[in-house]
């Protein structure tokens, strides 16, 4: 007589191929199999590490420079990671020295009133920003060939709304905040893209558009760039972002060829 299996398989196991969610894990008696307990512990540790890991600003700026992007580094009012996690409000405002930096140094690097300001921010996962930020900028280049002439700001201890103050100080017509999202147990490196027209302090999330889960295992760079370019063009026509600007990029007519889109965004 054969011995019963130590692990009882789940009849839904074939669905695992369709999602990274933890489904159909099987069981051992009344508990999860040991391998799944260990996998969960590893994923939880990776998520915690992503939250607490500091962004290597110098390395990111060096990579940006090598790719032809000039950048400035700024910091929120949260002095360190511990303060950042306990005081979300401080992550939404610039430190005084960063405000001075943008006022004094930005005009020497970029033309006044740029069409688009780009912010690479650590958020709740510096791993996401470090892994995907530059790739996203490069994916946008076919749509905006002059993207390297626009301001790129690297922001530490940042929340989404920090981009509003940065864009306002730069006089930008639109700001794109590329920020590490809250890690999940299957996605410690998910990048979020937040587009805001007319950035200024005091805006709410209802006045911006979000593209979420940007990473090779989620929404790929090329698809994210296409959606973002569609929203940027839509915001120019509509004059605003947020709840009135819909992402119909998957059902609308294809975007114009890059040169055509570039012409329609004359100053970008």
Stretch 197-224: mean pLDDT: 96
**Is residue 223 situated within a structural domain?**
yes
How far is residue 152's CA from residue 231's CA, in Å, rounded to a whole number? 19
Does the pLDDT of residue 21 top 80, yes or no? no
Backbone phi and psi for residue 263, each to the nearest 5 degrees, phi listed first: -65, -35
What's the domain count of the chain? Answer: 1
Compute the Cα dihedral for 48, 52, 193, 69 and give only its sign: negative
Q: Given CA atoms 59, 63, 68, 69 in this order, what sign does their dihedral have?
A: negative
Q: Is 119 annotated as a binding residue?
A: no
Percent of the chain with pLDDT over 70: 92
Q: Is residue 250 part of a domain?
A: yes
Which range has the worst mean pLDDT, 9-18, 106-115, 117-126? Answer: 9-18
Report if residue 31 sits inside a domain: no
Give the position of tokens 């994210």: 224
CATH of the domain at 69: 3.40.50.11240
217 lies in a domain? yes
Q: Could you tell me if residue 22 is inside a domain? A: no
Is residue 165 a known part of a binding site? no
Establish whether 181 is an annotated binding residue.
yes
Judge whether 110 lies within some domain. yes
Alpha helices per DSSP H over the chain: 34-52, 57-66, 81-86, 96-104, 106-109, 126-140, 162-170, 221-238, 258-264
Per the structure, the complete domain to which residue 89 belongs is given by 51-262
Q: Inform me whether the pLDDT recorded for 89 exceeds 90.
A: yes
For range 119-134, the mean pLDDT: 96
Per-residue pLDDT band for 36 (boundaries 50, 70, 90) equals confident
Q: Is residue 226 included in any domain, yes or no?
A: yes
pLDDT higher at 54 or 73? 73
Examine residue 106 and state whether it is found in any structural domain, yes or no: yes
């Amino acid at each position: 007589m054969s011995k019963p299996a130590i692990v009882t398989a789940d009849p839904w196991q074939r669905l695992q191929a369709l999602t990274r969610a933890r489904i159909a894990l099987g069981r051992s008696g009344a508990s999860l199999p040991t391998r799944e307990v260990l996998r969960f512990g590893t994923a939880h540790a990776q998520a915690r590490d992503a939250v607490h890991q500091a962004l290597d600003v110098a390395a990111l700026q060096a990579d940006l420079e090598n790719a032809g992007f000039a950048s400035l580094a700024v910091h929120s009012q949260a002095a360190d990671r511990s303060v950042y996690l306990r005081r979300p409000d401080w992550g939404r405002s610039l430190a005084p020295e960063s405000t001075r930096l943008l006022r004094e140094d930005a005009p020497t690097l970029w033309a006044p009133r740029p069409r688009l300001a780009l912010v690479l921010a650590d958020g709740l996962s510096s791993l996401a920003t470090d892994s995907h930020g530059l790739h996203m900028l490069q994916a946008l280049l076919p749509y905006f060939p002059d993207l390297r002439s626009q301001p790129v700001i690297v922001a530490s201890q940042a929340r989404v709304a920090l981009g509003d103050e940065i864009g306002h100080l730069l006089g930008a017509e639109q700001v794109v905040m590329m920020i590490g999202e809250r890690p999940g147990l299957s996605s410690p490196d998910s990048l979020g893209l937040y587009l805001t027209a007319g950035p200024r302090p005091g805006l709410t999330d209802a006045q911006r558009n979000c593209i979420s889960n940007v990473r090779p295992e989620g929404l790929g760079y090329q698809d994210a760039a296409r959606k973002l370019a569609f929203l940027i063009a839509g915001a120019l026509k509509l004059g605003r972002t947020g709840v009135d600007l819909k992402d119909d990029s998957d059902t609308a007519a294809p975007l114009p060829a890059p040169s055509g889109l570039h012409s329609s965004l004359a100053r970008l």
